[in-house]
Amino acid sequence: MTKTIATTAPTQTKTSSNVLSVLAAGILGLGIITVAGHVQAATLHDAAHDVRHTTGFPCH
Amino acid sequence: MTCVTQPASPATKLMFQKIAVSALIAGFGAGLVAALLQFVFVQPLLLHAELFEIDPHTALDLVTVPRGPFDVAREALNIVFSALIYTGYAFVLLAAMVWAEDRGEPISPRAGILWGIAGFITMHMAPAFGLAPDMPGLNGADVEARQIWWYGTVACTGIALWLIAFGQNWAMWGAAIVLLAAPHLIGAPMPDTLTQAAPPELAASFAARTLGVALAVWSTLGLLLGSVWHSKLAEG
């Protein structure tokens, strides 16, 4: 027999829904900056080379 | 037995959508401004510096860069990555702005410019205080060590500026001063030798212009975020 348990979250207030959204947005933004500005994989480095220098990231 | 977890609430999805749409519009717009300013003011110095990387002796005779064929693919990639990086900045900056708005600091175009300047200090000025923006041909310490220092400095400076703006007592402001100073008292990783192919005149101009462009674009980014947030555009 398959039993399904649905976890019911309490009604979320405006602020708590904002906290999740803000955290998700912050993490997404840092992820984009890391991939575009810092990851040293050769193809990515070569493609982003000029912008990494002109934006002041440690490039190579 | 199957466990079903509750999906994100409609309110959360709506708020994230609003943040994402605003950040994408403002970030892409600021990225295009960055690409244009860098193309006009910074890219010529970078191309000049590359000549010294290839052959320092020949390059010394050239005061300006000989105009080669326009590299369409290279410039297109520069536009793409400028837009991408400033979109990343836009997500982080808007996350902080929304967090503050929930605590009584309204988002507006004027406030957005201040937020943009704070972003510039956090992500550009503070790291550049230890690691000056370097053009090709300059000597640097191990790149991983510099990246670790970069992240540490950005984190310390971001928290410090938040404490200065929203702190309510001297303990918080004191902590901010310690956080601002710590990365620079520890010191950024420096190379063992300071030999370099490119002349210092070019390197100094490159660092100054990089920071000038960044301040202009971060202010634009904050202004755009502050303007888009309460407009119909942000509703998607």
CA B156 to chain centre: 15
B100 found inside a domain: yes
Is B76 domain-assigned?
A: yes
Question: Is the residue at B165 inside a domain?
Answer: no
B174 located within any domain: no
Residue A6 in any domain: the answer is no
Please say if the pLDDT value at position A26 is more than 90.
yes
Residue B218 lies in a domain: yes
pLDDT at A2: 47
Residue A14 confidence (pLDDT):
63
Residue A20 lies in a domain: yes
pLDDT < 50 stretches in chain B: 1-2
The closest CB to that of A58, out of B1, B93, B131, belongs to B131
Asked whether residue A60 is assigned to any structural domain, the reply reads: no
In a domain, residue B63? The reply is yes
Q: Tokens for A15?
A: 């602020």
- A39: distance to nearest CA of chain B, Å? 10
Q: Is residue A7 assigned to a domain?
A: no
Residue in the structure block whose two tokens are 């923006």: B133
Domain assignment present for residue A2? The answer is no
Task: Kindly report, residue by residue over A1-21, the tens digit of the pLDDT.
Answer: 444 444 444 444 566 778 999
Question: What secondary structure does DSSP assign to B41-90, as a single string?
Answer: IIHHHHHHHHHHHH-HHHHTT-SS-------HHHHHHHHHHHHHHHHHHH
Task: Please compute Rg for chain A using Cα positions.
Answer: 20
Contact A36 B85 (CB under 8 A): yes
Query: Would A9 be classed as within a structural domain?
Result: no
A48 located within any domain: yes
What pLDDT digit, counting tens, does each position of B65-96 carry?
666 677 889 999 999 999 999 999 999 999 99
What is the tally of structural domains in chain B? 1
Domain containing A43 equals: 14-54
- Count residue pairs from A and B with Cβ separation < 8 A: 151
Number of structural domains in chain A: 1
**Residue A1 is assigned to a structural domain of this protein:** no
Residues of A in contact with B217 (CB under 8 A): none
Interchain CB distance below 8 Å, A51 and B85: yes
Contact yes or no for B91/A36 (Cβ under 8 A):
no
Q: What is the pLDDT of residue B188?
A: 93
B195-218 as b/e, with b when 16 or more CB fall inside 10 Å? Answer: ebbbeeebbebbbebbbebbbbbb
Q: Which of A7, A20, A38, A50 should we substitute to test contact with B (largest number of B Cβ atoms within 10 Å)? A: A50
Look up the ipTM and state it: 0.88
- Residue A4: predicted pLDDT: 47
* Confidence (pLDDT) at A15: 67
Q: Which domain holds residue B66?
A: 12-138+196-235
